[in-house]
Amino acid sequence: MIQLTINGKLQQVDVAPDTPLLWVLRDTLQLTGTKYGCGQGLCGACTVHLDGVAMRSCSLPVSAAVGKKITTIEAVDAARVGKAVQAAWQKLDVVQCGYCQSGQIMSAVALLTHNRRPSDADIDNAMSGNLCRCATYVRIRAAIHEAAKALV
């Protein structure tokens, strides 16, 4: 059994240590807000926080998450930054198809947790690993700036 702290709750899972965290979240624990995109950590759809750092869960073995605090999109609104980001996303109507948005939001929250006044370059750098096939990048950047204003 592997013991994990996910969204503030202690969970025990019976999986192989090399199982990607994404599959533990989605298949074992039914936390389906984290999406499967590429399976190689390249698109960002599977982004979660590990001790507050944005990580790609599709390429992270569950054993690497033991002893760390895992936060998924299901609990990101429990903190002030997460609430501000989600409110900005809604206010600016960022979502088009929505598939990538949980990963986008998780990366944006990680950025704003550590940098409350990001420049466009900071945003582009932090979000560069998150792909949006609908190309809502301009709205994503605007929403991050909007959330940053709400946090000041």
- Whether the CB-CB separation of 12 and 1 falls below 8 Å is answered with yes
Q: Give residue-wise pLDDT tens across range 6-34.
A: 999 999 999 999 999 999 999 999 999 99
Domain parsing of the chain, residue ranges? 2-75, 76-151
Q: Give residue-wise pLDDT tens across range 72-127.
A: 999 999 999 999 999 999 999 999 999 999 999 999 999 999 999 999 999 999 99
- Whether the CB-CB separation of 30 and 72 falls below 8 Å is answered with no
- Whether the CB-CB separation of 51 and 70 falls below 8 Å is answered with no
pLDDT of residue 73: 98
Question: Average per-residue pLDDT in the chain?
Answer: 97
Q: What is the CATH number of domain 76-151?
A: 1.10.150.120
* Superfamily of domain covering 2-75: Beta-grasp domain (3.10.20.30)
- Whether the CB-CB separation of 50 and 65 falls below 8 Å is answered with yes
Q: pTM score, two decimals?
A: 0.96
Cα 68 versus chain centre, distance = 15
2-6/69-71 β-pairing? parallel
pLDDT of residue 72: 98
